[in-house]
Chains A and B, each alone.
Chain A
Amino acid sequence: MQERYAYYPGCLASLSQKELDSSTRAIAQKLDIELVEMPSVTCCGAGDIHEAKPDYYLHISARILGQAEQMGCETILTICNVCTLNLRQANKALQEDAALLNRINDNLKEVGAATYQGGVDIRHLLWEVSEGNGYEAFKGIAVKSLEGLKVAPFYGCQILRPSKILGFENPDAPQSLERLISACGAEPIDYPAKVKCCGFPIVLAREDVALGELVQPLEQAVEAGADVIVTPCPLCHLSLDAWQRKAADYAGKEFGIPILHLAQLLGAAAGIEESELKFKRHVTRLSPEVKAKLQVPSVIGTEA
């Protein structure tokens, strides 16, 4: 973990999933991390621009990376899987191909935008607080034990695969979320679909195909006895939370399982108030039991 990051919340956390942004800012404050704003950035393209206009995608990515560089930040902090993959994928292409980077920089210069020299890294919040000094720092602020809460980790795809671009942990047996769930005093629940797709990228264009995918983690997490699912991705969150009703109709059974953003789970353990965590902004509401568990004011053991 570093002391200062260029903060790239991305579209969803800035617009429909604002609770993720406010939770992240609250956590960063507790951890004493400075989040430097990036007021001129665009969407990362979410894979859609990469697919439709790959050259434009590389240009807008270089512009985002160049802005971080000009702000004197070595690292962009992301809180979304899709932003993480898209920015890292573009970064890799730009860093590995000097001719490409030169051409793009010429174009950026021509339109008066920041150019990029290739010196920025992109890291997801999950990676920063699940190991090393970030993990120790988090344990230090996790003052409220979430004991008794059974939490199913849902990684989503684009923080794990392809590992040659992401590469933080074994994509088939990740453990970072489990580590953090345990550090919160809660109990991680294991189930096979935790590394699979939530269906969100195609939920509008191919709703039935997407719902067939979404049903798997919901069904398995509930069957495994989870109280809540936690995810590091706001797209997975929207799918699991807002589309849960449609998934239930599709599967012909009720799930009723609340979905937490990673920053909300960490925030609850750090004793951050509901006014920042904003659980009320979820479509699938927290049950009174889960709410009580998320707010139990007992102190974690002495290990921190």
Chain B
Amino acid sequence: MTEIKNAHFTTLQGAYDTELMEATLRIRRWDPDTQRARFDTFTVTVPVTASVLDALDAIKDTRDGTLAYRKSCRMAVCGSCGMRIDGGAALACKTPMKKFVDAGHTITVSPMGNLPVIKDLVVDMAPFWEKIRAVKPYLDTKDEEVPDTEWRVSPEHHEMIHKESLCILCGCCVSECNSMESDPDFLGPAALAKAYRFVGDARDTDTRERLRDLNGAHGIWDCTRCYFCNQRCPKGVDPRDAIAKLGAESFKEGFVRDEGARHAKVFVDSTYKGGYLRETELVPKTIGPVNAVKDIPFALQLARAGKVPNPLSPHKAKDNDEVKRLWKLLEKEAKGAERPRAMHPDAVREG
């Protein structure tokens, strides 16, 4: 009978057939009973192939059974073991220990950010799930009858939401979201990537309602483009890019009233009209003339330092008519385009 091998069990037995190494980890502990944080440092013997998760398992099995962390699949699929490794959120199971050992570096392991800590490395994911639920993370085909057979999506249509479909809901993108640190109610990168996964789905018919909801307070225009989410995502979802796609879909559907959308429109119009950004139009057109008037004392501070360009003679690039023609050409092209739609199976059957 094959013996069931457990990494540290066999490590303890000295029965591992692979080379071993000594790994040192500094771990942030949080005791919910005393409400106190402390750092513990452990050195454990692990195989050279060990991940950070394997090292944590070795610590829990051989050094301190009270160490709390989440894990399940150990292969970067379940999304349970998100934690900060040297301050950056990552999956412990997907992070090899060897590079740190080779560098003689003691890693610091701490819980993910932007979520309350329950114990040690375990965070409360409730606010995370609440936001995922808020974007209606399921297909809505409204009046369309639920078909008896599969509702097929062409490879081309799937490609549009492929990256967003890869999300494993681990929370690494949320951990370092700079906007969320400042506005905890911001829907954030995970929920917005999920939102695009359905906005971009060629079967979903709830597009306009979804986009309307995403264009309000704490929605897509809260994103400060810090790109931590793209940097941290262990699956290549690139949530910031998904947020940009939601912006583009909002423009297509005419949702252009949010201050964020109005801000974006000034950039588009500036290139079309002259080349460079018309900075003096940015403030009144984004926040409205009334709020702009309230901001006059601030504008005067900037003007005193010479930071307000003359609005009467805006920048005009050479040959900018090319851009104007380009804009018209693309708008004409876009007008004819229809929203991608996967045919209902019944319609396919009926030919």
A157 to B179, CA, bound (A): 13
Docked-complex contact A42 and B276, CB < 8 angstroms: yes
A85 to B226, CA, bound (A): 12
A254 to B113, CA, bound (A): 27
Docked-complex contact A283 and B302, CB < 8 angstroms: yes
Residues A205 and B221 in contact in the complex (CB < 8 Å), given A48-B268, A161-B230: yes
Docked-complex contact B225 and A52, CB < 8 angstroms: no
Which A residue's beta carbon lies closest to that of B245? A54
B64 interface residue (CB < 8 Å to A): no
Contact residues, A145-165 vs B (CB, 8 A): 157-158, 160-163
A45 interface residue (CB < 8 Å to B): yes
A65 to B205, CA, bound (A): 39
Docked-complex contact B309 and A209, CB < 8 angstroms: no
Report B-chain residues with C-beta under 8 Å of the C-beta of A10.
Answer: 276
The proximity string for B residues 230-265 relative to A, scoring 1 for CB distances below 8 Å and 0 otherwise, is 110000001010011101100100000011111111
Which B residue's beta carbon lies closest to that of A161? B227
Docked-complex contact A281 and B305, CB < 8 angstroms: yes
In-complex Cβ contact of A213 among B178, B287, B325 (8 A): B178
A283 to B307, CA, bound (A): 9
B100 interface residue (CB < 8 Å to A): no
Docked-complex contact A213 and B224, CB < 8 angstroms: yes
Shortest CB distance A223–B (Å): 18
In-complex Cβ contact of A52 among B224, B238, B251 (8 A): B251
Docked-complex contact B263 and A281, CB < 8 angstroms: no
A107 interface residue (CB < 8 Å to B): yes
In-complex Cβ contact of B267 among A43, A110, A112 (8 A): A43
Docked-complex contact B315 and A15, CB < 8 angstroms: yes
B320 interface residue (CB < 8 Å to A): yes
Docked-complex contact B231 and A197, CB < 8 angstroms: no
Residues on A close to B: CB < 8 A? 10-12, 14-18, 39-43, 45-56, 59-60, 63, 85, 107-108, 110-113, 157-158, 160-163, 171-172, 192, 196-197, 199, 201-202, 204-206, 208-213, 238, 242, 245-246, 280-283
The 4 A-B residue pairs with the shortest CB-CB distance, nearest first, are A212-B182, A51-B247, A161-B227, A205-B259
